[in-house]
Amino acid sequence: MLFRQIFDPKLAQYAYLIGCQQTKEAIVIDPERDVDQYLQLAEEEGLRIVAVAETHIHADFLSGARELAERIGAKLYLSAEGESEGWASNWAKNGRYNVTFLHDGDTFTIGNLVFQAVHTPGHTPEHLCYLVTDQGGGATVPIGMVTGDFVFVGDLGRPDLLESAAKISGMKDPSARRLYQSVLRFLELPDYLQLWPGHGAGSACGKALGAVPQSTVGYEKRFNASLAPAREGETVFVEAILSGQPEPPLYYARMKAYNRDGVPLLGKLPVPRRLSVVELDRLVRQGEVTFVDTRLDRMAFMQAHLPGALYAPFNRSFNTVVGSLVADDQQPLVLIIDEEDVEQAVRDLVRIGYDRIEAYATPDTLIRYFNEGGARAAIPMISFAEVARLRTQPDIAVLDVRYAAEFEAGHVPGALNASYTRLPEYLDRIPKDRTLLVHCATGGRSAAAASFLAAQGYCVQYVADDFAVYQQIGPVESNTPVIA
């Protein structure tokens, strides 16, 4: 058996290429939309992808299952569970695809490899895991389990997303109770099984995912903090798993709908054109695109950026910032980005549904544009010492864009809380008649939030400081978020 784990560091997502080395056939489980990466890897390993499977209908990225079915005729293995609750892969039901819908206990083979579906609802109603047995090597029991968003290293998949992200009311508690039942079943699995999760540290599909790429069932039974409350009963487990979950990025609802009803076919990756200073100036004057400024130096952005630009640094937060703060995935985007990062940025964006990447300008081009008198905007920067001095003035509002759990643990007295991942939802509750002092824990999330709010016409000052500094010099209170 050939086993390859493919990691996307920005989405903290794991896909799996699993192949039979005797028949040279392979399956991809939970692929992202830009499927050329899996086709190339399979070719390098001397394998041919013949099938694709999904553990569930994803919320954090667009699936590549349809793309592989269309491009190479891959057979689909999808969940038949959860259909009565509206979470079936509707797009695969039109008779166009070679698809098998799986129930709990169903098996299928890829070469000499046997895959058994295990229904593990809770994170989503339709969620499946896959036990993998290498019969070609003489094994009669599974070597491991692809767990998707059920069990992670150190955590469990959150059961609240259908309510908190997809806005289906009343789903959190019953989903958590179903997850409890799935956990009880997991605890009966043999300890030797390897555990291959769908995400690692940095994913918003849980609250404390580990950075180790794989584990074993036995290790997770002993040390997974989210599994431990299950041993104290359902009530304790439900309370523990639902507490402290971070607010999901705004784009998750779109991903759920696309993955259920049909991801648009991608074909070739978009190829944005490089802009000259003259072309950049024309686009700024037209005002019909959204500029996404990816420079890592946020101080440089605050001092000078294109009017209305969104600050989305090209680091691990890139997808989350764009997905949370660009509400319209049909809006044409123009990137401010280094030449060598363009292709990866395009991949990052199409994975969450942004296909209209029209053009890009390098930071050097941006500087030349400014030097030639091009339009620019700036956002004032202040310290937490100034926040402590200004916070009680009637024309000032402190806006804390950390997650609600962070806010509740301690914040500036009188501050408003609006997680940056859901910021567009809070606009009607954020005062426009006061200057907003925007902060987070260390300045990263609030830099993106400040740029977004400034583009919406708010008077913003960016707190370029660590909240730990304020905790040393100003009063701190703990309570429920005011506007979130």
Pick the closest to residue 105 from 84, 79, 83 (CA basis).
79
| Band of residue 117 on the pLDDT scale cut at 50, 70, 90 | very high
Average pLDDT for the chain: 96
Mean pLDDT score, 216-227: 97
- CA 167-103-83 angle, to 5 degrees, is 30
pLDDT tens track for 121-142: 999 999 999 999 999 889 999 9
Pick the closest to residue 467 from 403, 412, 420 (CA basis).
412
Give 3-state DSSP helix, strand, coil % of the chain, rounded to 5. 35, 25, 45
The rounded distance, in Å, linking the Cα atoms of 68 and 415 is 48
pTM across the whole model: 0.95
Domains annotated for the chain, with CATH where assigned, are 2-261 (3.60.15.10), 273-371 (3.40.250.10), 381-473 (3.40.250.10)
| Band of residue 206 on the pLDDT scale cut at 50, 70, 90 | confident
Mean pLDDT score, 467-478: 95
Could you tell me if 98 and 75 are in contact, meaning their C-beta atoms sit under 8 angstroms apart? Answer: yes
| pLDDT at residue 155 in the model | 95
pLDDT tens track for 52-92: 999 999 999 999 999 999 999 999 999 999 988 888 899 99
Pick the closest to residue 152 from 204, 196, 184 (CA basis).
196
| pLDDT at residue 33 in the model | 97
| pLDDT at residue 484 in the model | 54
The rounded distance, in Å, linking the Cα atoms of 464 and 301 is 12
The residues assigned a catalytic role are 440
pLDDT tens track for 237-276: 999 999 989 999 999 999 999 999 999 999 999 999 999 9
**Residue owning tokens 């431990």:** 228
Check pLDDT > 90 for residue 481. Answer: no
The rounded distance, in Å, linking the Cα atoms of 302 and 138 is 62
